[in-house]
Structure 1
Amino acid sequence: MASNGSSSYHHGNLRQELMDLAEKHLVDTGVHDLSLRALAREIGVSQTAPYRHFKDKNALLAALATEGFRRFFDVCRPSEMEERSDQSILLFGLAYARFAREHTAMFHLMFGPTLQPRNQYPELFAAGREAIYKVRARVEKGLQRGELRPLDDIASIAHTIWAAVHGVTTLMLDHADTYGYHRDIDLQAEKSMRMMIAGLCVDPSGIATLPETATHYPPVPA
């Protein structure tokens, strides 16, 4: 096994092997017991080999979280194809919640406190900025086309949308016993987002024209 691991490393695959194995441990056991040396032993390379790619465990986790954002953007892409900005924002919220449900450990790594402050990890910081800029672009388009009400400046509206979507998603993940207890929790999350976004719309009837669930979304990447 050691020779195979060393061979993989010399062929330039060790970085990806480390990320793949780290993600498996992230899902199975969390981040606290994760270490580069333990991953190296499991792969079958020297305990110093991982440090050629990551200076420490958090650097590895930051790379993993950045990859999580790339997958998240893929899941959100259909929302960017919606012509109406209010519908686009709703589908973004639904994709956000779905990604969190299907990749909960990755979601917590992407948005949780483990990797703080974010500006220590430039690629991860840039990915997070890209995410909020995507929401801002939807808001700007909606204001220009008269689809959203000009309640405040673009940045404030975008951050309010993000806070609301994230709040609904966090309640769904962490407080399912009380949030949505009287109905299917995914349906409750969708209803909450519909009500929130309808409040931003000049004509809320556009939200009602969307189907009850975003069944046209592709599977979330593994």
Structure 2
Amino acid sequence: MDSAAASAPATRRYHHGDLRSALREAAERVLVERGAAEVSLREVARAVGVSHAAPYRHYANREALLADIAAGGFDRLRERFAALPQSPEPAAQFAAMAQAYVEFAVAEPAIYRLMLGPEVRKADHPVLAKAGHRVLDTLRRALVALGVPAPATDEAMAAWGFAHGLAQLLVDGRLEADPEVDTPLDVQRLVGRAARLFVAGLRAV
């Protein structure tokens, strides 16, 4: 099989779809398999069967591509929040959001690290900043439902901080129970209790 035939499937995938999406999907695969440092515009162009110059029609540079992937991660997280069953009890809804956040981080650790890590500055990429703000707005609304005065920015940042801390410890494999004094680690129980403690703290202030 010659090289043109070998590249034909990738080229057909591009012609039948959207180049930007194809590049992003190829870059996500590299990110998940090998890490953010290994993502390059040249490699993803080769993966989808286009010229090395083609990605620059959509992405100014490698960081812009990473920002687009991170924005997609925030959108998927927000979709998880939107898919949660609506509870009549705001505290239960908040706890469910905390669970969904941690579950997302554990399910997509490479994307999660990119979203919250130092590789891409939100301030430099409006698409990423807007995606992050949409998630923050969802969290703000949950806190306002708990009785926190709008816009609840400080409380939302604090809530994000506690959920992020637990998620990061789990993703990094740093969260362990002491077998001499604790029962085996139950992540769902832990996140639920942390959420209840956070709500209790809000109500005590």
- TM over 0.5, shorter chain: yes
Between Structure 1 and Structure 2, the one with more helix by share is 2
Change (3 A) 1:126 1:80: farther
Is residue 19–residue 64 contact of structure 1 (8 Å, CA) maintained in 2? yes
In the alignment, structure 1 residue 133 sits paired with structure 2 residue 137: yes
Deviation at 1:201, TM superposition (A): 4.1
Q: Are residues 174 and 16 of structure 1, via their aligned partners in 2, closer, same or farther at CA, if it must alter by over 3 Å?
A: same
Instruction: Tell me if structure 1 keeps the 8 A contact 2:70–2:115.
Output: yes
1:161 matched to 2:159: yes
Alignment coverage as a number of residue pairs? 195
Aligned 8 A contact 2:10 2:47 in 1: no
Does the C-alpha gap of structure 1 residues 7 and 172 become closer, same or farther in structure 2, counting only changes over 3 Å?
closer
TM-score normalized by structure 1? 0.77
Secondary structure in 2 matching 1:68: helix
1:20 aligns with 2:25: yes
CA distance in 2, matches of 1:173, 1:57: 25
Pair 1:142-2:126 in alignment: no
Contact 2:177 2:185 in 1 (8 A): no
Structure 1, residues 149-192: CA drift from partner, whole Å, max 9, x if none?
A: x7x98222222111111112122222435467742251333333
Match of 1:43 in 2: 48
- Give, as a single letter, the amino acid of the residue that structure 1 aligns with 2:46: R
Deviation >3 Å, runs of 4+ = 1-12, 177-182
Match of 2:119 among 98, 114, 118: 114
Change in Cα spacing, 1:82 to 1:20, as seen in structure 2 (3 Å) is same
Shift of 1:4: 4.5
SS at match of 1:32: helix
Q: Per the alignment, do residues 5 and 49 of structure 1 end up closer, same or farther by CA in structure 2, a change over 3 Å counting?
A: farther
The unaligned stretches of length 5 or more in structure 2 are 1-5
3-state SS of 1:184 partner: coil
| C-alpha RMSD of matched pairs (Å) | 2.5
1:68-147 matches, within 5 Å, as 68-79=73-84, 81-116=86-121, 118-143=122-147
Deviations 1:185-210 (A, max 9, x none): 513333333332333347xxxxxxxx
Percent identity between the two aligned chains = 30
Q: Is the alpha carbon distance of 1:23 and 1:179 closer, same or farther for their aligned partners in structure 2, counting shifts above 3 Å?
A: farther
Q: Distance in 2 between matches of 1:180 and 1:58?
A: 41
Unaligned runs of 5+ in 1: 203-222
In structure 1, what is the equivalent of residue 185 of structure 2?
184
Equivalences for residues 29-68 of structure 1 within 5 A:
29-68=34-73
With 76-85 and 105-114 compared, the bigger mean Cα shift is at 76-85
Moved more, 106-115 or 76-85: 76-85
* Cα deviation, residue 2, structure 1: 3.5
